[in-house]
Every structure is written in C-alpha cells, then in structure tokens.
Amino acid sequence: MNTGMQRATSLVITKSVGGVVIYTRTYSLLSAFSTFAAITSSVCASLSVNDYTSRLNAFKAYVESNEVGLTVDVTVAYIQNTTSCPIGA
C-alpha cells in the first residue's frame, strides 16, 4: 500500500574532467553492498522507514568509499510524492 512517500533506489555518478566525461556509473540501493543482501523493489517498498534509512545510510557510505571526494546527499531520497505514490493505492 502506498503511503505517499517516494523512496530513491539508484544513484547515477558522472565524472568529468575539463568537460570530458571520464565515466558514468549507476549504483543501486537494491543491489548487494557492504553487509546488505540484494533485494527487490517490492521488498524495498515494504521496508520500515527505519530499515530503509539504515540501508540508505550504509549505501551512502558505500558509494562515498568508491567515489573518493564525493559527498552523497540523501536528504531527497525519501520524499513525499503523492502523484507517483498515491496514498492507499
């Protein structure tokens, strides 16, 4: 059941130097990383807010450890969006 809250599940990093793209990487919150096993989008949607936040914070640390110098902002990873996540649907 939708609660009106949208959860981010991926992050795309594009590294460029002097306007030239060096690489683009996509990291998925659903994939296995650190001590977390891979999960489906349905399982992610059913995680408690605390469990989602815990996974998200570990994901942030994981990405930052792979992308030296990058700071990941997760403040927009869990937002109200009743258009994409209509309450009760």
Residue ranges per domain, the chain? 5-80
The answer to whether the pTM exceeds 0.85 is no
Please tell me the number of Cα atoms within 13 Å of 13 on its side-chain side.
18
pLDDT at 75: 83
* pLDDT at res. 8: 87
For residue 89, is pLDDT > 80?
no
What's the average model confidence in pLDDT over 83-89?
Answer: 62
What are the pLDDT digits (tens) for 27-79?
999 999 999 999 999 898 888 889 999 999 999 999 999 999 999 988 877 65
Q: Can you list the positions of beta strands (E) in 1-89?
A: 5-7, 10-17, 20-28, 78-80
